[in-house]
Each structure stands twice: as C-alpha cells, then as structure tokens.
Amino acid sequence: ESCPSIKNILLLDSEGNRVAVKYYSDEWPNNSVKEAFEKSLFTKTQKTNARTEGKQFVFLFVHSHLSFSSCPDKKYHSLTFHNVFIPFLFTAEIAMFESHIIVYKFVQDLHFFVTGAENENELILVTVLQGFFDAVGLLLRGTVDKKEALENLDLILLCLDEIVDGGIILETDANVIAGKVASHSIDAAAPLSEQTISQALATAREHLARSLLK
C-alpha cells in the first residue's frame, strides 16, 4: 500500500508507436488494452506543451570524462559518466489520465512516459522519469532520437530493467543506471585498458558534436 510503485514506463515515437514499453501492473491485461492506453495517452499529451518549440535539443557540454571507479573491495568496477550531458529546456510535464498520474517528457521524435497511481507522490514519479530520460541520453551519447534508440534497443531494454523491478523503483540516478547498463560491454574480469576509455570518450565527443551541428 505505502510503497511507491510504478505502473508502466513507455517510450513511444512521434506517432505514438512503441519503441520500448514495460508494464508492471496487471491493470492492462492484454496487448490491445495496452495499445489503446498508449494511443489515447499519446493523443491527449500531444496537445500539451511538453515539447518546447524552436531549438529542439540542446545539451550543455559541461565537463566530460568517463571515470573508472573502484569499490573498496576492488572487485566491483563501474563506469561513471560525470556531467557529460545536461539536457535543459525540458521540464517534465504532468497529466491526470484515466485515474493515473502520468509524467512525461518529449525530445525529438521520442516520447518518455512514466505512469503511477492517482494518489502517488508526483515528485517520486518525476524522479523516475528523469532517471530514465537522462540515462537514455547518456547511453545514446546525446543523439536521442528514434533511430538511435532502435539501433541501441538492447541498451534501452536493459535501462528499463535497471530502473524498475516489478513496479518497485530500483534506481533513479541516471549515472548509476547508465553505468550498470554500459558496464556490459566490459568484462569486469578482464582489465580495462586505457585505450577503451579514451575510445569511448572520443566516440562520445564525436556524437555530441554531430548532434550539436545538426
């Protein structure tokens, strides 16, 4: 009763079609009910102002490096992204819809939604949305659009898997989420070479520059 719970997380494209979705509640018993929900939610939120017109996507490049941190026991390694991209211009929007509270953010042709119960603390939901949104931004290295998301669908799906488990919030910090997902390309058993890191950095820079010049 009292533990905050997430009913679903949706990532839809500019026509309301699925890129990736995850339902944690059995309120939507089958796929057609889910699709109907997504369609009407999409239609309803299209009219609102979650999308800022004009300049569509700007990331502030503050301070970028990938750090390789070790845990005290020297066994746990993770990649952490420090302030690589800070998306701004976008604040999450919110709506009541069919007795759910829905928080959402749109960027390019991607639409991020998080659904919670009617009486849920809105700010908890928005924390989850922000975690998802920023983690996807980190994992896609700044190019957050449908094409990039589909090409890296494995990362998106792992990202969903790391944020919420069976409706319970697992992690909300985008850096940690992205770190857990990204760590998959590195076998912790094998030593991580300096080269890998600089390569990763270079790719990130390149992506970013491209998306800024677009």
Q: Given the rule CB under 8 A, which residues bind another protein? A: 2-4, 18, 20-21, 31-32, 34-35, 47-49, 71-73, 75-76, 91-96, 103, 121-127, 146-147, 150-151, 153-154, 157-158, 161, 165-166, 168-172, 180, 183-189
Pick the closer one to another protein by CB: 28 or 205: 28
Strand-pairing partners, residue 69, are 78
Q: How far is the CB of 209 from another protein (least distance, A)?
A: 22
Instruction: Measure the CA angle with vertex 29, ends 98 and 160; round to 5°.
Output: 80
Phi, psi angles (nearest 5°) of residue 50: -70, -25
Distances (CA, A) of 86 to 133, 175, 190: 11, 12, 31
Shorter beta-carbon distance to another protein: residue 31 or 195: 31
Give the shortest CB-161-to-another protein separation in angstroms: 5
Residue type, 138: L
Rounded to the nearest whole angstrom, what is the least distance from the CB of residue 166 to another protein in the complex?
5
Residues 45, 95: contact at Cβ < 8 Å?
Answer: yes
The least distance separating another protein from the CB of residue 106, rounded to whole angstroms, comes to 13
- 10: nearest Cα among 184, 173, 25: 25
